[in-house]
Amino acid sequence: MSILTQLMHKSRSKSPSLFHLNTGSCNGCDIELVTCLSPRYDVEQLGIHLEGSPRHADILCVTGPVTRNTLEAVKTVYAQVCEPKAVVALGSCPASCNVFAGSPVIEGPLSKHIPVDVYVPGCPPHPDAIINGIARAAQILADRGVRPESKGEAQK
Amino acid sequence: MNASALINLFLFPGLLFAVPAGWFFVWGEHKAVARMQRRIGPPLLQPFYEFVKLLGKRTPSRHGIEADLLRIYPALSVLSLLGALALLPVFPASLSFSGDGILLVALLELPSICFILAGFTSGSIYGEIGAIREAVLSVANNLVFLLAIVTLAVTRDTFRLADLAGPTWNPGHWIGVLGILLCIPAKLRLNPFSTSSAEQEIYSGPLTEYAGAALGLWKLAHGLEWVALTGLVAALVLPLGGPWWQHTLLFVAVSFVQVLLLSAIAAATARFTLERAIRFYWRWAAILAALAVLSAIYMRFRA
């Protein structure tokens, strides 16, 4: 690896920007994600920060079981996050639809619609687990770079 | 073009000093706010890592005149701020010409205009709202900023930056410096004047549609803005003379003290609504600034 590649690898793993997307979550996981920013957990010391626009983000944090209303939003926001990107599914809902499985208005699990890199199970997951998941996603992001299947297509 | 101008532009206080200093000041602000909230805060190299990371992002493909404009605005901001930094009268022998104070004000204003235009060009509704807010706020704080510069100029009877630098006993000088300090939070879009990039209301304001290297340049421009504005105040209050290394260290120290002060204000205040921010500048600060200009003119005529 050349020095420039190493520098890019390090920079990607050291400054992941998050975009938080709620796809019909009960707010439990959302509250736990926000807790990670609070003084007790303080993810900023790992360089992790929450961004307002998906264009600025590297990691998409999805909570909720993907309801029918939010499906289009999930696809749009995923396309708006620029490569290289990673997806973290927070909580049991995006992983398995949890107690909502089988409901006619649920389109989950999340992996049916977009590729998921890290699952953080729990209802809701502990903030430590969320931080661990995000740190792993940042590592995956840095190791992989631009996703091989999206190398040819233009960014939307 | 002589060597001194090139040194000002590329070495100190230009490119080679200002870019790392800008990252350092941005880190200082984040760290200070974090410490005040009893957090640990980001590591020292965080702004640098973020810049490199953004250079490696793939950006959305855009075509036509908007695409070019959206690329030109951040580059123009960075260049104009580098020009403004080169004009700063840090050393007594620095290259200065008659009326360069006016050029400095224009170069400091250009990034704000680019920021507004970027918001309108991006076509995003959040960008447009942010651009309107920034435009209104810029008109409000520039009134005070220009009056402060005029107060300084009337006090010393010149617009030449080399003659404006350094402290005097004249109260007009200190009122002018205070006026500039009052405008810095609005120019840097810090709390309580962060209405134009209010992330809880309008995402990232004019920068909502930006990604990748162009966004990195905007962040770099923000860092340079920190160095230029705090550096202007530092150049105005620092006594000239002494060995160059001592003067440079003092310059950086005074700038960094301002960073800490502004961070403390940002951490302790909530965001003003647009109306309140304008009222602050037009009603209170502008009256004080107008009185300062009038008293400076009066004292000159009496002398």
- Tens-digit pLDDT profile for residues A18-30: 999 999 899 999 9
CA distance A74 to chain B (A): 18
- All structural domains of chain A, each given as residue ranges with its CATH number in brackets, are 14-146 (3.40.50.12280)
Determine the average pLDDT of the residues in B277-286: 83
> Between residues A99 and A147, which one has the greater pLDDT?
A99
Name the pLDDT band for B300 (thresholds 50, 70, 90): confident
The overall longest dimension of chain A from CA atoms, in Å, is 52
Cα-based distances in Å from B265 to A22, A45, B36, B52, B186: 33, 22, 11, 30, 12
- The answer to whether A51 contacts B204, with C-beta atoms less than 8 Å apart, is yes
Residue among A10, A52, A155 whose CB faces B204 most closely:
A52
User: Measured between CB atoms, does A45 come within 8 Å of chain B?
Assistant: yes
The answer, yes or no, to whether residue B92 has pLDDT greater than 70, is: no
Q: Give the B window 24-43 contacts with A, CB below 8 Å.
A: 30, 34, 37-43
- Chain A residue numbers with beta carbons less than 8 Å from the beta carbon of B208 are 52-53, 55
Tell me the residue type at B58: R
| Nearest Cα residue in chain B from A58 | B57
> How far is residue B107's CA from residue B13's CA, in Å, rounded to a whole number?
15
Determine the average pLDDT of the residues in B117-124: 88
pLDDT of B208 reads 85
Name the pLDDT band for B206 (thresholds 50, 70, 90): confident
Query: Any idea which of A80-84, B82-86, B292-296 has the lowest mean pLDDT?
Result: B292-296
- The answer to whether A44 contacts B41, with C-beta atoms less than 8 Å apart, is yes
> How far is residue B201's CA from residue B282's CA, in Å, rounded to a whole number?
24
pLDDT of B193 reads 86
pLDDT of B259 reads 93
The answer, yes or no, to whether residue A144 has pLDDT greater than 70, is: yes
Q: Radius of gyration over alpha carbons of chain B, in Å?
A: 19
> How far is residue B219's CA from residue B221's CA, in Å, rounded to a whole number?
5
The answer, yes or no, to whether residue B14 has pLDDT greater than 80, is: no
User: Measured between CB atoms, does B44 come within 8 Å of chain A?
Assistant: no
The candidate with the shortest Cα–Cα distance to B206, out of B110, B80, B122, B113, is B122
CA distance B6 to chain A (A): 29
Cα torsion angle, B208, B227, B11, B176, sign: positive
User: Measured between CB atoms, does B63 come within 8 Å of chain A?
Assistant: no
> Per residue in A41-95, pLDDT tens?
989 899 898 888 888 999 999 999 999 999 999 999 998 898 889 999 999 999 9
- The answer to whether B53 contacts A8, with C-beta atoms less than 8 Å apart, is yes
The answer, yes or no, to whether residue B273 has pLDDT greater than 90, is: no
Cis peptide before A109 (omega within 30 of 0): yes
Determine the average pLDDT of the residues in B113-137: 90
Cα-based distances in Å from A94 to A53, A60, A112, A115, B246: 21, 13, 10, 12, 59
Structure tokens at B125: 């509704």
Tell me the residue type at A139: Q
> Per residue in B224-246, pLDDT tens?
999 999 999 988 888 877 777 88
Burial track B243-270 (b if 16+ CB lie within 10 A, e otherwise) = eeeebbeebbebbbebbeebbeebbeee
Query: Any idea which of A24-28, A149-153, B249-253 has the lowest mean pLDDT?
Result: A149-153
pLDDT of B212 reads 85
- Chain A residue numbers with beta carbons less than 8 Å from the beta carbon of B58 are 82-84, 146, 155
- Chain A residue numbers with beta carbons less than 8 Å from the beta carbon of B53 are 8, 11-12, 14-15, 58
To probe the interface with B, which of A12, A20, A44 has the most B CB atoms within 10 Å? A44
Q: Is the ipTM of this complex over 0.95?
A: no
Question: How buried is B283 (Cβ within 10 angstroms: 0-12 exposed, 13-18 middle, 19+ buried)?
Answer: exposed
Mean pLDDT over the full length of chain B = 85
> How far is residue B110's CA from residue B16's CA, in Å, rounded to a whole number?
21
Residue among A53, A82, A83 whose CB faces B204 most closely:
A53
> How far is residue B132's CA from residue B121's CA, in Å, rounded to a whole number?
12
Mean pLDDT over the full length of chain A = 88
pLDDT of B277 reads 85
pLDDT of B67 reads 84
Which residue stretches of B37-164 are H helix?
46-55, 65-87, 100-122, 125-156, 161-164
Q: What percent of chain B has pLDDT over 70?
A: 98
Name the pLDDT band for B191 (thresholds 50, 70, 90): confident
- The answer to whether A14 contacts B43, with C-beta atoms less than 8 Å apart, is yes
Structure tokens at B76: 């123009």
Q: What percent of chain A has pLDDT over 70?
A: 94
Cα-based distances in Å from B108 to A110, B88, B112: 48, 11, 8
> How far is residue A108's CA from residue A66's CA, in Å, rounded to a whole number?
5
- Chain A residue numbers with beta carbons less than 8 Å from the beta carbon of B59 are 82, 155
Query: Any idea which of B13-27, B133-147, B233-247 has the lowest mean pLDDT?
Result: B233-247
**With contact defined as beta carbons under 8 Å apart, do A63 and B61 qualify?**
no
Residue among A12, A55, A146 whose CB faces B53 most closely:
A12
∠ CA(A106), CA(B202), CA(A85), 5° rounding? 55
pTM for the model: 0.89
> How far is residue A67's CA from residue A19's CA, in Å, rounded to a whole number?
19
pLDDT of A151 reads 63
Name the one residue in this structure whose structure tokens are 């960008």. B127
Distance between start and end Cα atoms, chain A: 30
